[in-house]
Amino acid sequence: MSQKISSSPTPTSLQTLVSNEREFSWKVASNLFVSFKYAWAGISYSFQTQRNFRIHVSVCALAIGLSVFLHLQAVEIAVIGITSGLVLALELLNTAIESLVDLTVKQTYHDLAKIAKDCAAGAVLVSALVAVLVAGTLLLPPLVKLIISALYT
């Protein structure tokens, strides 16, 4: 059974994304700043290489911006922020799992690798659908009200 494997970054592009300072990253970070630097490197890598992560960041920013524009209550904005943050966190985990699976199977097809990647992607999909449901529930009523008032004034 032939399966197309998603393309991964080329070795030269990986070298630009992962600096030489990461050579000993398996060691415990020397301080909190270094820990944050490593975490930011992961977020940057995902943003630069993962189309879906960029889409999720854009939709998250749009949802939070719209909720502020519509003057939602702080708790409603927080709920939208939490659900959006969960989607972003799961997308980061999905990227990590996919990279680890590719490393393990050396980018050849394996049924268990497919299951791992599909389940990780499924987790992102479930969280994204829940985030859309939450945002829709909180954003649509005031948005419809704003549109109706704009049409009849």
Catalytic residue annotation: 91
List, in order, residues 6 or more apart from 44 with CB less than 8 Å away. Answer: 17
- To 10 degrees, what angle do helices 51-69 and 32-49 make? 100
- How many Å apart are CA 150 and CA 144, to the nearest integer? 10
DSSP string, 6-65: PP---HHHHHHHS-GGGGGTTSPPSSHHHHHHHHHHHHHHHHHH-HHHHHHHHHHHHHHH
* Element of type H or E holding 102: helix 74-105
